[in-house]
Structure 1
Amino acid sequence: MAAEFDGLVAAVTGGASGIGAAIVRALAEAGATVAVLDLDAGERDDGVLAVRTDVTDDESVRAAVDTVVTRLGGLDILVNNAGIGAQGTVADNDDAEWLRVLDVNVLGMVRTTRAALPHLRRSPAAAVVNTGSIVATAGLPQRALYTASKGAVLALTRAMAADHLPEGIRVNCVNPGTADTPWIDRLLAAAPDPEAERAALEARQPHGRLVTADEVARTVLYLASPLSRSTTGVGIAVDGGMQDLRLRPRG
């Protein structure tokens, strides 16, 4: 696949850990020149450009995109992956928490895409991939705020795809099921019975296990590829069948 991404520059928000780190690794292995935009970007010695970025701060985002373009020579692919989780019913989080999560998960994508658009318009292979979630299409308990944010991401993806297709920019979304990430690790650690909670999460997905970060990354690779020119405005579920399958109980 290296030929697909040869000469292309990709920026991944939230690329320092979890799904974001897997996306960075997959893009780099496929031949892209990659930049990580993250609050905890750190220092890297693997050829990936690390840029400290706060997606809730428009000035920080614009400076980060400018750094990528200046250092790497342009921008062809933007992966809007930065996000935070939230638990509870609609009544369990106050206004401040609602605003905090929406600021990161929705407005963060708005800011980075807005800053990237002038550069994407100049690319012959421009693509934006947003990280959504299965919660955008399936109602799960205790996820009201997170669901609202990811439902907005899916709707925003379609609107952006319609707006920017005439400019040659494709916009798509990947919707992971429950993935084996540091956030899930923290949720499990806080549970009264972590092993039972993990088993319940695994059983909720028809294929019987958590989704891996690498599986999500491979789907992002497809959506970002210049060979996928006829794929735009879609949300692809990587969820072991959770969105659409209704299997009979095992046993």
Structure 2
Amino acid sequence: MPRRLWRQRWQRIIDQLQVVQNNDAAQGLLAQLAAPTAPTVLGFVNAHAMNLVVRDSAYCQALLSAGVLLRDGSGMAILYRRLGLAPGLNMNGTDFIPRLLGAYRGRRVAFWGTRQPYLGQAAQRCAATFGVQPVSVHDGFAAIDTYLELAGKHRPDLIVLGMGMPRQEAVAAALADSGQPCLIICGGAILDFLGGKVSRAPGWLRRFGLEWLYRLVREPKRLFMRYVAGNPLFLLRTLLFSSRSP
């Protein structure tokens, strides 16, 4: 890919990212996302997303169509600091999405992603813990039209997509175009976490920004390319991007 093109894509993503500077701002964002007046897509941008943006133009467009994009992970904090920008809070979905589910207590929620039994377990846990009403539970491997039909049939207030990048962003963009007022979350592995398939790293590892290392040790085959190959590539691109000529 021409150097100018991937730099342009990175810049567009950075320009759209919403940096949350403190806990008060995070609470304000939570209240905003709990009361959408139009279809609103919430996406999270981490180092893996930035690598995907370089080679996948459709994913880049889907990501940019999100109403709210949040910085996720220590890699993105490194990029921000290299650019002389304040990175704000680490708004990773694994921590923020449960807070959103709590804000939707008593409301209709669709859970689309991962496989059984973890999908059903995630929906049951969310109902018990956050008091939401699961109205649609479906795996993440159907055609996009399937999710459009489910959205029209069940009219959820909140849709949690746990399909992984770049598929969930494409589904979210299609759902947003359908026009139904709701919040659509691109949640990555959130349903695997909530359903008990994947465990969180110990707190001390999370505080040092090393949850990716814990996940790599637990799932080396699946995550090798993302982390062992992807993280150094992201850091190299960060150096190139931050040293660009004005």
With normalisation by structure 2, the TM-score equals 0.33
TM (norm. structure 1) is: 0.33
